[in-house]
Amino acid sequence: MQHTLLFFLSLTLAACGANIDVRTPIPHELITDSEKGGYRSINIRADETEASSGFIRSLSENLRQHLSELALYPKKNGSLKVRVQIIGYEINEGASREVMGVLAGADEVKSRVQVIDTATDQIVGESIIFTSSSMAYGQQAMAWVHADDIVTFLSD
């Protein structure tokens, strides 16, 4: 019984994970400045991945919603813009996910997130964000989880 409980606890803990590799931290005052703090625009690109337009649309909507709840977006006078480049995308969909469930493996999304000063066009913050989950079923669920991980970087 104890071994079974330990197995399911381990499986649950391994189900979701995020790795936020901060290359350049965003200066805190750039986020919190009452006049110019926050983000003016958000641009998401998928480049050479297989990320669908539906995933990109969901990621964009979720990212904008999370940041607006924190009063960080949209900021007309904001001095920062966000560039998200999806550099890794592996989501199990269809029959493999439906039949195998968690055993189909983890869904994974990896993005390079850059914060750019709009006045100088210089990168003032950068991170590689890797989100992995075997419990988030489908593109929309992974877009929600990945957006939450990105917001963690953009709001700290």
- Using one digit for the tens of pLDDT, what is the confidence trace for 7-25? 443 443 345 677 888 999 9
Query: How confident is residue 84, by pLDDT bands cut at 50, 70 and 90?
Result: very high
pLDDT tens per residue, range 102-152? 455 678 999 999 999 999 999 999 999 999 887 766 788 899 999 999 999
Q: Given phi > 0 = left and psi -120 to 50 = alpha, else beta, which region is 46?
A: alpha
The confidence score (pLDDT) of residue 1 equals 52
Mean residue pLDDT of the chain comes to 83
Q: Could you tell me how far CA 105 lies from the centroid of its own chain?
A: 19
pTM of the full structure? 0.82
CB 17 within 8 A of CB 107: no
Tokens standing for residue 2: 């104890």
Contacts of 79 (CB under 8 A, 6+ apart): 30, 33, 36, 37, 40, 117, 118, 119
Alpha-carbon distance 17 to 134, whole Å? 9
The confidence score (pLDDT) of residue 45 equals 95
Contacts of 92 (CB under 8 A, 6+ apart): 100, 104, 105, 107
Tokens standing for residue 34: 């009452």
Tokens standing for residue 87: 């550099």
For the ranges 53-57, 82-86, 106-110, 134-138, which has the lowest average pLDDT? Answer: 134-138
